[in-house]
Homo-oligomer: A and B are copies of this chain.
Amino acid sequence: MEVKKHTIKLVVNNRPDVLARIAGIFSGRGFNIESISANITLDPNVTKIRIVTMGDSSTVSKIQNQLKKLVDVQSVSHIRESKHGRREMIMMQVNLTDENRRDVMKAIDEFQCKIVTKKVDHCIIEATGNEDDIEQLIKRFEPMGIEDFSRSGVVAL
Q: Is the CB of B91 within 8 A of A156?
A: yes
- Minimum CB–CB distance for A57 against chain B, Å: 19
Docked complex: A14-38 residues within 8 A CB-CB of B: 14-17, 19-20, 22-24, 26-27, 30-38
Number of A residues with CB within 8 Å of any CB on chain B: 53
> Can you name 5 extra interface pairs (CB under 8 A) apart from A16-B32, A91-B157?
A16-B30, A17-B24, A37-B152, A91-B155, A93-B157
Among the interface residues A16, A41, A48, A90, which one has the most CB atoms of the partner chain B within 10 A?
A16
Residues of A within 8 A of B (CB): 14-17, 19-20, 22-24, 26-27, 30-42, 48, 50, 84-85, 87-93, 114, 116-117, 124, 126, 128, 138, 142, 146, 148-153, 155-157
